[in-house]
Structures are given as C-alpha cells and as structure tokens.
Amino acid sequence: METNVPAIQAIAEKKAFFGELPQANAYATAKAAHCSDLAGIQLQVNDGRIENISYISYGCGYSLAAHSIVCELAKGLSLEQARALKAAAIEEKVGGFPESKQHYCEGAVKLLQDAIANYEQSTGKLDAKFDKDREVKCGWNE
C-alpha cells in the first residue's frame, strides 16, 4: 500500500474525536513501551452500539491520526462490528501509513477492543480480567 503522509497530517491536525467524553461508560488506556506515547479511548455504549467515542493521545501525528480514524470507523457500530475492525481499515481510509508507523493502526484497534472489553466486563458480559493500564512491548500491538 502506498503512503499518504499529507492525508495523515491533515487528520492529525483536525483532531476529530479528540478530548474527554463525560458520558463515557467504557474506557481503555495504553502506553507504548518503545516511545512512551500514551493513548486512551472512551466509549458511550447504548443498546449494544457505540453511540459516541473519543480519544486522547499524547504522541506523534501518526498516533493522533490512527486514533481519530478508528473513532470515525467505530462510531455507530455494534460492539461486535467494532470488535472486528482491523488495522488495515485505518490504512485504507488514508491510503496507507509508512511501514515504520503501521503499529499505530494496530494499537488504535487494540485500544478500541480493550475499551469494548472494559464495557463488557463492567456490564457482566465478560469474565476475563480487564487490564486498564496495560503497557505494550512492541509498538501498540501485543
């Protein structure tokens, strides 16, 4: 896939979905071990759908863009549909991330999945332990 840095930069500067979501009923946070970027996603889930979503990222423009796009893609989806999102969908939205920055797409999707798991655990639909402050070893993935 080609790289579209100008599109990524424009999305990062726009910061759609950036900020706190006071009515959130689910969240997840992560810290990237290799660069110490911090990110979080908050969800407002109603009737099994992501009614509203936001993110906060203390990282580079690639991180901002990936999280913004995952929010755009997930808003309005059922939890099952959102859980099925793949990093490739983020890349397709902008025409590609540089190979060395693709881990941001993977991390944004994983963070969304973690927020969904947090919601499911808090509503009694998930038995697994939710790690609200996970630190990832390589990029955002794992």
Residue-wise pLDDT tens digits, 90-140:
999 999 999 989 889 999 999 999 999 999 998 887 654 445 554 443 333
Sheet arrangement for strand 38-46: 49-58, 38-46, 26-32, 133-136
Q: Is the pTM of this model over 0.75?
A: yes
Domain ranges for the chain? 5-136
Question: Judging by beta carbons within 10 Å of its beta carbon (0-12, 13-18, 19+), is residue 49 exposed, middle or buried?
Answer: middle
* CATH 3.90.1010.10 is held by the domain 5-136: yes
Question: Judging by beta carbons within 10 Å of its beta carbon (0-12, 13-18, 19+), is residue 87 exposed, middle or buried?
Answer: buried
Could you report the per-residue pLDDT of 54-94, keeping only the tens digit for each? Answer: 999 998 999 999 999 999 999 999 999 999 999 999 999 99
d(CA 50, CA 47): 9
